[in-house]
Amino acid sequence: MKSTNIETVNVPLVLLECLKRTNGIILFAGNRYSGFEKTFKVISENLKQIKTQSLGTIVLKDNIGYKDLFWNPISYDDLILKPLSETTKNSDCFIFENISKKEEFEAALEMAEDGRLVFVHISTSTISSALHRIFSLFLVQQREHLLWRFLNESFLFYSQVEIEEETKNPVLAGEIVLMTPELKKIILEKGIDQLEEKMRNSSEDSGVVTLNHSLLQLLIRRKISVQKAFEISKDPGDLDLLLKKVGI
């Protein structure tokens, strides 16, 4: 992960507040253009202040050359072969970077069920696509039980994209979903596709922020241009309606 000035990264406050939890899963969706390395740097700096008596483990595809006093870097192969090593037993929190195999996801889920705070990073651009990628790794008959286990541990879903313009500093936009009991029940009963429908019809106090709502806030604060917002939006028609409501 590259170094970054954490003061310049507009990571949502709700994400940082969740770091105070001692266990559970935060699903993080972000591809290589999302700036996820910068966000994980911010997360790391905040965890160092919160969890002063413990270390974390970061599970990487390639841990060669990774150095950080807070994180113990290990590879997925090492974790799967030795899940109860001294490194993992002494860690209160984990970051699983770029999960792409079912064994990797199962390892992350088991760490959360064992009472640890776990970040599950999927290299996709949206929460919905991250969920579909996870469950596509498993046989159809396995998915219902796996979904129940996953939702039981999850408390926040988050996606982000980094936006760059020539005359402005890079900023982050994305989706935020607080996993309430009501929302978990809907997903369990009707499937993960229902989450996207719920997000589209969410109210301001529902604990859900869509990408378009995030872009709107950046526009109001003059952090991005209208042209850039439409370039980033995955639903330009909905964004246009939002802008008209606020007179932009």
**pLDDT (0 to 100) of residue 4:** 42
- What is the C-alpha separation between 65 and 25, in angstroms, rounded? 27
Tens digits of per-residue pLDDT, 18-34? Answer: 988 989 999 999 998 89
Percent of the chain having pLDDT more than 90?
52
Model confidence at 176: pLDDT above 60: yes
Residue ranges covered by each domain of the chain: 21-209, 212-247
- What is the C-alpha separation between 155 and 200, in angstroms, rounded? 19
| Beta-strand runs (E) in 167-227 | 168-178, 208-209
Which of 32-41, 45-54, 162-171 has the highest average model confidence (pLDDT)?
A: 32-41
- Of the candidates 6, 77, 80, the one whose C-alpha atom is nearest the C-alpha of residue 41 is 6
- Of the candidates 109, 102, 99, 19, the one whose C-alpha atom is nearest the C-alpha of residue 60 is 99
Annotation: CATH topology of 21-209 = Rossmann fold (3.40.50)
Minimum mean pLDDT range among 53-67, 75-89, 155-169: 53-67
Over residues 227-236, mean pLDDT:
94
- State the chain's mean pLDDT as an integer: 86
pLDDT band for position 48 (cuts 50, 70, 90): confident
CA distances from 83 to 59, 62, 78, 100, 166 (A): 12, 17, 8, 18, 46
- Of the candidates 48, 153, 144, 32, the one whose C-alpha atom is nearest the C-alpha of residue 98 is 32
Model confidence at 2: pLDDT above 50: no
Model confidence at 3: pLDDT above 60: no
pTM score, two decimals? 0.89
Over residues 222-236, mean pLDDT:
93
In contact, 234 and 124? CB cutoff 8 Å: no
Model confidence at 90: pLDDT above 90: no
Minimum mean pLDDT range among 53-62, 69-78, 223-232: 53-62
Model confidence at 69: pLDDT above 70: no
